[in-house]
């Protein structure tokens, strides 16, 4: 028999955001962050303050198509109404001022009691967008990393192929992140795609060190412009020396693209390095 | 023989801007406008304060690919260096804070003494961008007018065709603009284009009344969703009654696309109403 007091529910959100005007994901006192904006909207929807756990904490200026975050609530608001209600609060304004419409709940679902957006995650795909253009495009300034030199895509694909697999990525880690037990990570796939003068990089792995995708993107660009030889990637990896890898590409080109909770979901990304732009 | 004192030059700028975070084009005390940001950058480049005349004064939130503006200067800075110098000042900051990189000089050229960006203009093309999508796209929220209903493109093309030509556009004028001697304008062409779920409208004419393109776009959308019958456009024109036309489409979808100073430049736009999306 159901009691009047509903059992608490564990809810998983899939979230899209334009990170341009945020100080990153994680709540910080007095700062406009994606997490705090969502928690404020949830507070209005659920009539209780909840704390959300994200799959990945993105930095200032980084975007997301498919960030995920879960929270536990005792609220009786039907889960099927949550998306609409929270999106309404997200677009009409909030305790903290923020750019209207820059965060959106894409999907809401109930998950098992022990599910955790970060710990249950088996892999993630990040997308990195590069604009190949001599002149700046002001409409893309916050969403792309513009490169005004010619890129050698074949060399970039060679270098990417060498990065795929289980490696110690210490050379591809910036200082300043949360300390980690190990710097070994498994990159399942690096894929290139593109349209017109836009180049997209998709990096899928079981986990990522601080700034790892941005350093991979920067290193591949350095390979593309001839500053780094693709044959040197192995040496860069084994050196475990951040100074050997390429530059850190800017945050505005980076998107948390997809978070996986089962290996089956990931399969479409696990072919060898692919590119249709060559 | 050249004297030490150079003759003053009349200079024409072509300007691209993201209007999202501006209070429109025209300088207003204490407001962040495109004009004031450019005049501030020019002051640094030329070491003198100049006043620039734009071809069209765009409203808050309206963008431009090809706004034009001229000014007269006695500065000896070589015209060929002006673009780089001003763009440097535009992207490094300014007396007024503004979003870095949202204004860019596309082209600079010397024009005749009696040239005036507005009075010498023989026509303009405005572009209006519509996103056909059930769900919002946060990355396009400031750059498109999203429509979540099906549009009948054939009816929209019929209505557009009826708007082309010399008409009294009083029904397509918002109150609040600069008073005009006449509300008769000549629309040379309305053209549809598109890519994926993006629909682009190009409206070329000799001049435009206040909010005219936004009311044309809103009226064509109302035709597209079946709210206005394309056969009624003639009646809407002859009524000279703003209430008979459709709604005013939002500023974020509007772009000042191109400004013409000779009829020859305009020719590519003067075929009959065209569309490749049907």
ipTM score of complex: 0.86
Average pLDDT of every residue of chain B: 90
How would you write B56-93 as a 3-class SS string?
CCCCCCCEEEEEEEEEEECCCCCHHHHHHHHHHHHHHC
Q: What does pTM read for this prediction? A: 0.90
Question: Same domain, yes or no, for B141 and B262?
Answer: yes
Q: How many domains does chain B have?
A: 2
Same domain membership, residue A205 and residue A79: no
DSSP letters for A140-165: GTTT-EEE-S---HHHHHHHHHHH-E
pLDDT score recorded for residue A1? 45
The residues in A 129-148 lying below 8 A from B, measured between CB atoms, are 135-136, 138-139, 141, 143
Q: How far apart are CA B225 and CA B228, in angstroms?
A: 8
Interchain pair B139, A63: CB under 8 A = yes
Residues A182 and A264 reside in one and the same domain: yes
Query: What residues of chain A lie within 8 A of the CB of B102, using their CB?
Result: 138, 141
Q: What pLDDT, on the 0 to 100 scale, is given for residue A31?
A: 84
- What CATH number did the domain enclosing A184 receive? 3.30.70.660
* Average pLDDT rounded to a whole number, residues A23-36: 89
Whether residue A147 sits in one domain with residue A266:
yes
Residues B130 and B72 in one domain: no
Closest-approach residue (CA) in chain A for B17: A138
Of A17, A103, A138, the CB nearest to B104: A138
A241: closest CA among A185, A176, A170, A161?
A170
Q: Which of B72, B87, B111 is the last residue of a domain?
A: B111
The nearest CA of chain A is from the CA of B182 a distance in Å of 36
Whole-number Å distance between alpha carbons of B216 and B231: 15
pLDDT bin (cut points 50, 70, 90) of residue B218 is very high
User: CA B144, CA B254: separation in Å to the nearest integer?
Assistant: 8
Whether B186 and B83 share a structural domain: no
Q: Give residues with Cβ within 8 angstroms of B50, minimum separation 6.
A: B39, B42, B43, B71, B72, B73
- Judged against a pLDDT cut of 70, whether residue A6 lies above it is answered with no
CB nearest to A101's CB, from B63, B102, B136: B136
- Candidate from B17, B135, B139 with C-beta closest to A138: B17
Q: pLDDT for A163-214, tens place per residue?
A: 999 999 999 999 877 778 899 999 999 999 998 999 999 999 999 999 999 9
Show the domain range for A90: 9-111
Exposed (0-12), middle (13-18) or buried (19+): which is B118, by Cβ within 10 Å?
middle
Distances (CA, A) of B192 to A105, A181, B59, B147, B157: 32, 57, 23, 16, 8
The per-residue pLDDT for A271 is 52
CATH of the domain at B61: 3.30.70.580
Give the distance between the most distant pair of CA atoms in chain B.
70
Indicate if A149 and A44 belong to the same structural domain. no
pLDDT at A96: 47
Residue B179 has pLDDT above 60, yes or no: yes
* pLDDT band per the 50, 70, 90 thresholds, residue B33: very high
Q: Are residues A180 and A228 in the same domain?
A: yes
Determine the pLDDT at residue A92: 61
Minimum-distance CB partner of A143 among B16, B104, B139: B139
- Considering the domain architecture, whether residues B101 and B127 belong to the same structural domain is answered as no
Q: Kindly report the backbone phi and psi dihedral angles of residue B199, in degrees, each rounded to the nearest multiple of 5, phi listed first.
A: -115, 130
Residue B70, domain member (yes or no): yes
Residues A103 and A174 in one domain: no
Q: Does the distance separating the beta carbons of A138 and B103 come in below 8 Å? A: yes
Nearest to B269, CA basis, from B132, B124, B134? B124
A positions 51-70 inside 8 Å of B (CB): 63
Q: Does residue B216 sit within a domain?
A: yes
Task: Give bridge partners of residue B186 from the DSSP assignment.
Answer: B166
| E strand map for B2-142 | 9-17, 53-54, 63-73, 103-111, 123-132
pLDDT at A94: 47
Please provide residue A173's backbone torsions phi and psi, each rounded to the nearest 5 degrees: -125, 130
CA distance B156 to B130: 13
Pairing label, strands B145-147, B123-132: parallel
Whether the per-residue pLDDT at B275 is higher than 60: the answer is no
Q: Can you give the C-alpha Rg of chain B in angstroms?
A: 20
- Active-site residue, selected from the candidate residues A40, A59, A189, A222: A59
Please give the average per-residue pLDDT across B168-173, as a whole number. Answer: 96
- Per residue in B42-62, pLDDT (tens digit) is 999 999 999 999 999 999 999
A123 has a pLDDT exceeding 50 = yes
Percent of the residues in chain B that have a pLDDT greater than 90, as a whole number: 79
Contact A102 B141 (CB under 8 A): yes
A59 assigned to active site: yes
Residues A264, A200 share a domain? yes
HEC-encoded secondary structure of A47-105: CCCCCCEECCCCCCCCEEEEEEEEEEECCCCCHHHHHHHHHHHHHHCCCCCCCCCCEEE
- How do residues A67-105 score in pLDDT, each as one tens digit? 999 999 999 899 999 999 999 999 865 444 555 689 999
SS (H, E, C) A214-266: HHHHHHHHHHHCCCCCHHHHHHHHHHCCHHHCCCCCCHHHEEEEEEECCHHHH
In a domain, A192, yes or no: yes
Say if A16 is an interface residue toward chain B (CB within 8 Å).
yes
Dihedral sign (CA A180, A183, A185, A191): positive
A109 touches chain B (CB under 8 A): no
pLDDT at B176: 79
Min distance A216 CA to chain B CA atoms (Å):
24
- The number of residues making up chain A comes to 278
pLDDT at site A2: 47
Residues B72-115: pLDDT tens digits? 999 989 999 999 999 999 986 544 455 568 999 999 999 999 99
Q: Is A269 helix (H, G, I), strand (E, B) or coil?
A: helix
Question: Out of A101, A106, A141, whose CB is closest to B141?
Answer: A101
Query: Smallest Cα–Cα separation from A139: which of B91, B17, B125?
Result: B17
CB A158 within 8 A of CB A177: no
Question: Which of A111, A139, A159 is the C-terminal boundary of a domain?
Answer: A111
Per-residue pLDDT band for A270 (boundaries 50, 70, 90) equals: low
Distance, in angstroms, between A243 CA and closest chain B CA? Answer: 28
For B190-217, what is the mean pLDDT? 95
pLDDT digits (tens, 9 = 90+) for B15-31: 999 999 899 999 888 88
Per-residue pLDDT reduced to its tens digit, A129-150 = 999 999 999 999 999 999 999 9
Which one, of A67, A277, A62, lies nearest residue A191 by Cα? A277
In chain B, count H helices and then E strands.
Answer: 6, 11
- pLDDT value at residue A178: 76
Q: Given phi > 0 = left and psi -120 to 50 = alpha, else beta, which region is B214?
A: alpha
Judging contacts by C-beta atoms under 8 Å, the chain A residues touching residue B106 are 135
Confirm if A165 and A202 have CB atoms less than 8 A apart.
no
Residue from A103, A105, A139 whose CB has the most chain B CBs within 10 Å, to mutate: A139
**Model confidence band, residue B259 (pLDDT cutoffs 50, 70, 90):** very high
Whether B185 and B261 map to the same domain: the answer is yes
């Amino acid at each position: 028999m159901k009691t009047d007091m509903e059992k608490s529910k564990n809810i998983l959100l899939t979230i899209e955001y334009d990170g341009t005007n945020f100080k990153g994901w994680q709540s910080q006192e007095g700062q406009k962050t994606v997490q705090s904006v969502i928690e404020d909207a949830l507070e209005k929807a659920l009539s209780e303050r909840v704390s959300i756990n994200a799959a990945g904490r993105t930095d200032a200026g980084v975007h997301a198509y498919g960030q995920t975050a879960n929270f536990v609530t005792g609220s009786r608001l039907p889960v099927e109404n949550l998306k609409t209600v929270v999106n309404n609060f997200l677009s009409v304004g909030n305790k903290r001022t923020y750019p209207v419409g820059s965060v959106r709940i894409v999907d809401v679902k109930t998950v098992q009691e022990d599910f955790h957006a970060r710990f249950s995650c088996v892999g993630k795909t990040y997308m990195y967008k590069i604009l190949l253009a001599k002149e700046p495009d002001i409409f893309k300034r916050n969403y792309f990393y513009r490169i005004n030199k010619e890129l050698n895509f074949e060399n970039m694909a060679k270098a990417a192929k060498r990065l795929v697999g289980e490696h110690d990525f210490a050379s591809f880690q910036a200082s300043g992140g949360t300390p980690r037990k190990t710097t070994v990570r498994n990159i399942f796939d690096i894929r290139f795609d593109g349209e017109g003068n836009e180049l997209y990089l998709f990096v899928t792995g079981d986990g990522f060190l601080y700034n790892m995708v941005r350093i991979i993107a920067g290193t591949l660009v350095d390979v593309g412009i001839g500053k780094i030889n693709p044959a040197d990637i192995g040496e860069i990896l084994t050196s475990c020396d951040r100074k050997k890898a390429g530059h850190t590409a800017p945050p505005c080109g980076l998107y948390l693209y997809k978070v996986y909770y089962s290996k089956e979901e990931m399969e479409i990304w696990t072919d060898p390095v692919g590119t249709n732009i060559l």
